[in-house]
Structure 1
Amino acid sequence: MKKPKILAILPARGGSKRIPKKNIKEFCGKPMIAWPIQTLQACGLVDDILVSTDSSEIQDIVKSLDVKAPFLRPDELSDDNTGTGPVIKHAVEWYLSNIGKPDLILTVYPSAVFITPKDLEDALDLLLESKSESLIACGAYEYPIQRALFLNQDKRIEMFSPEHINTRTQDCEDAYHDAGQLYLSTLDAVLAGLGEFSNDSTMFILPRHKVIDIDTPEDYEFAERLFLLEQQKKKANRIAIGTVQFGLDYGVANKHGQVDLDEANEILKSADHKGIDTLDTSISYGVSEESLGKVGVGKFKVVTKLPPIPSSVEDVDEWAYDQMQSSLTRMNLQTAYGLLVHDTSQLFGSNGSKLAEAMLSLKKQGLVHKIGVSAYGPDEVASVFQKFQIDIIQVPFNVFDRRMLTTGWLQRLNDAGIEIHARSIFLQGLLLLKINEVPKNFKKWGSLISFWHKWLEQNNSTALETCLHYPLSLPQIDRVIVGVDNNDQLKEIIEAFNPRNRPFIFPDISCDDELLLNPSNWSII
């Protein structure tokens, strides 16, 4: 089925009474209207976005967000008594006359800050499946309306529906109300002025925490607090668990050795409970994949990596298929989220094109959702970016190693829609060691390491907090991979992730010496 062309419209009046300038009032660091606009721009479903407003101030703000606000709506559509329907119809008629013809009209209110791209995707699916003319986002009443009360003229309690006086709450039929978040309608329904409550409307039910009417200062304060909590959960979701320790004794700061199965199970339980949904592993990480398969990772997005192609291999496509199938079997999965080339030099060798084609074939077969590479620096990234189409990339990034930022590659990859996973944020544990624990063979970088520890002391910050929050402070980075030796370490990381532990500033230190930044070089220092 051909994707319908969708025009999103945000009705944003400037004359809010109880919360002055509500639609552009700062909400968690941005004008409120910027949040639903950001969701619409990120969802990949909407073909165009238009704001209908009577305020030149709102008009200027949304234009700065790269959104159309081509007119100021007429006075007769700007008073307190004007409903949403006529405002949307006016905007659609302007669009038809000046730009083009959409198939569906998505109305989103500026205060719909809790709506996500997934909500929009689910709403569209529901409308198309139901073959309705329109859809309205609804919320459930918290208490059965059949047993609702009111005060009569004599200031005495009465029931709206006395026939339900003995009806148990669990026997009452569920009831819903307009959530005041979004509507989705066909073009014909909007032009005909049918309204969202026509007989041909369906209902898209939102969870309770997304149904907040921000109408008073108290509502606003509550919504902002809840939004911050939701944002915190999303940021926790940016943490990924590196599982090399599940298969090998790895890391200069590792004092516990390889993680056993019981401990691995506890780690993944804690990760799932905290909303961490991504695991990083590799076919080359010893028995890591086998351990994951025994513990069970069906709830997680698993990213694994191919080993180098043996020189004896003649059919690269068959080799890659066998490697992927064996990996999935070990992990007890039907498909993996990501498959990376562990060594990018393989892509530029004699079998490079065949390897790239083999990975694309695995993606087309549904054995993996995203393909990409694990790179060690900007030069590798540049070479891969110029020659191959990738969905995901893993790169080193930490307070010492900022090469991906300073060279502009973080932003360039982000602009290209490539998912970025930052690894080595603790520099294989070196950044977490106390200064007297740093091995002597790192004395060449003694002044850099001393500065790091002095900064931590002067700013009353821990190495863990700073190492974790620095990459997470950069929006271009989608996941930050952390390796843990035990469940207590993961709990410590989650606690360090708490916003109250975020440093206000980060140390102005960096290094370009690959001898230090690439742990594979440490054996020769």
Structure 2
Amino acid sequence: MQGPAVFSSPDPSVAGKLAIAVVTQPERVQGSVMAAPPGAREDAMRNLLQTAADAGCSVVATRPEGDNERLLGQAWPFPSPFAVTVRTVPLSEGLDRVEARARRSLERMGLPRGEVLLISSANDLAGAEGRALWDRARALKDRGLFRKIGFCATVEDGPDLLARRFQPDVVQTPCNILDQRAVTEGVLSDLASQGVEVHVGSPFAGGLLFMAGDSLPHGLADYAGDLSRTRRRLAEARVDPMQAALAFALGLPPAVSVVASVASAAEMRAMLAAAHAPRPDLDWEALALPQAAALSRAIHRSGGSPHDDLYAISSAA
């Protein structure tokens, strides 16, 4: 185990370190992109992207799901300031499908090339076809369709060991106030020492930081007490949960990018305000949950993803 997390000075351009992942859950917030009437969704997406661009955000992280990529393609500011990160579909759909869908993602967004192609699951790389999958991704990079390639991995996946095997340009791994293992176990620093560009995902801990016990997703009720204690510590320090979450993630020196989900322009503005707020003086280690590994598994079982913040955060917006 390593010592306490050491944080850098506040980034003078915090928005430049934020990567936004537009989510499509209508229940996420009132006025979210996908909650808008069909004819107004493009305008809602355009408003969100313009708000992010005006603030200096330069990275958009996408997933090959639903209608999101098409909406992004119709709503980019002109000229677009965004570099785009694309994820693969699961390897269970076949190698040809993985490659074709990555190409299709660029086409749907109207892009000649993407910034990063991320293998969506470390399990796909660890399996029998892992090397063949990586070779497909590398070939897309060699053809100029993506500038960088990498993968998403949790602490349990051993991202530092996978990085030694595949030598990625980028690794995205979750790290947040509730689950600080990527810091305390030295995963982030090990990746950075290998020359890997570190992207931190799930800064809002799946949205759990913003939920009261009675609103927790099914299967997470056992963690209500610990979550309540963390929220109470923040309240006693008079620190908003979103402000604390972003201060923690943005202050991690190995993190080149922090991937934060957003569902509307209003939520984007709230997130930017929290990111630019004065850095709180908190005992970060005291905020972590003692059973973070078990919580991560429970989030996965409940239908969430350790890589994303898909649950509602409207209470913070």
Please say whether Structure 1 and Structure 2 have the same fold, judged by a TM-score greater than 0.5.
yes
Asked whether 1:276 is paired with 2:57, we answer yes
Give the corresponding residue for 1:486: 264
Asked whether 1:237 is paired with 2:16, we answer yes
> What is the one-letter code of the residue matched to 1:291?
L
Asked whether 1:433 is paired with 2:214, we answer no
State the secondary structure of the residue aligned to 2:259: strand
- Give the TM-score of the pair, scaled to structure 1: 0.51
Among 278, 283, 296, the residue aligned to 1:517: 296
Among 73, 78, 89, the residue aligned to 1:307: 89
Give the corresponding residue for 1:216: none
Measure how far apart 1:468 and its partner are: 0.9
Aligned residues: 286
**Relative CO higher for 1 or 2, CA cutoff 8 Å, sep ≥ 6?**
2
Structure 2 contact 175–249 (Cα < 8 Å) conserved: yes
Q: After TM superposition, list the pairs within 5 Å mapping 1:17-416 onto structure 2.
A: 231-233=11-13, 235-243=14-22, 245=23, 248-249=24-25, 254=29, 258=34, 260-283=41-64, 285-296=65-76, 298-310=80-92, 313=94, 316=95, 318-416=96-194
Structure 1 contact 324–367 (Cα < 8 Å) conserved: no
The whole-number CA distance in structure 1 between the counterparts of 2:283 and 2:31 is 30
> What is the one-letter code of the residue matched to 1:274?
A
More off after superposition, 398-407 vs 345-354: 345-354
Distance 1:347 1:455, change over 3 A: same
Asked whether 1:477 is paired with 2:255, we answer yes
Measure how far apart 1:349 and its partner are: 2.2
1:149-193: CA deviation from partner (whole Å, max 9, x where unpaired): xxxxxxxxxxxxxxxxxxxxxxxxxxxxxxxxxxxxxxxxxxxxx
Give the corresponding residue for 1:495: 273
The whole-number CA distance in structure 2 between the counterparts of 1:460 and 1:435 is 20
> What is the one-letter code of the residue matched to 1:384?
L
State the secondary structure of the residue aligned to 1:232: coil
- Structure 1 or 2, whichever has the larger Rg, is 1
Give the corresponding residue for 2:313: none
Q: Structure 2 stretches of 5 or more lacking a match?
A: 1-7, 36-40, 305-317
More off after superposition, 294-303 vs 436-445: 436-445
Measure how far apart 1:449 and its partner are: 1.1
The whole-number CA distance in structure 2 between the counterparts of 1:457 and 1:261 is 37
The whole-number CA distance in structure 1 between the counterparts of 2:188 and 2:165 is 18
Give the corresponding residue for 1:504: 281
Distance 1:339 1:356, change over 3 A: same
The whole-number CA distance in structure 2 between the counterparts of 1:326 and 1:440 is 34
Give the corresponding residue for 1:97: none
Measure how far apart 1:321 and its partner are: 3.9
- Give the TM-score of the pair, scaled to structure 2: 0.82
Distance 1:437 1:408, change over 3 A: same
Structure 1 contact 516–522 (Cα < 8 Å) conserved: no
Structure 1 contact 427–517 (Cα < 8 Å) conserved: no
Structure 2 contact 212–228 (Cα < 8 Å) conserved: no
Structure 2 contact 174–201 (Cα < 8 Å) conserved: yes
CA RMSD of aligned residues (A): 2.5
Measure how far apart 1:303 and its partner are: 0.3
Measure how far apart 1:414 and its partner are: 1.2
Q: Structure 1 stretches of 5 or more lacking a match?
A: 1-28, 31-227
More off after superposition, 446-455 vs 390-399: 446-455
Structure 1 contact 515–522 (Cα < 8 Å) conserved: no
1:63-119: CA deviation from partner (whole Å, max 9, x where unpaired): xxxxxxxxxxxxxxxxxxxxxxxxxxxxxxxxxxxxxxxxxxxxxxxxxxxxxxxxx
Q: After TM superposition, list the pairs within 5 Å mapping 1:417-428 onto structure 2.
A: 417-428=195-206
> What is the one-letter code of the residue matched to 2:119?
V
State the secondary structure of the residue aligned to 1:491: helix
Structure 1 contact 254–429 (Cα < 8 Å) conserved: no
Structure 2 contact 178–292 (Cα < 8 Å) conserved: no
The whole-number CA distance in structure 1 between the counterparts of 2:167 and 2:26 is 32
Distance 1:386 1:453, change over 3 A: same
Measure how far apart 1:250 and its partner are: 7.2
1:121-147: CA deviation from partner (whole Å, max 9, x where unpaired): xxxxxxxxxxxxxxxxxxxxxxxxxxx
State the secondary structure of the residue aligned to 2:270: helix
Query: Percent identity of the aligned residues?
Result: 24
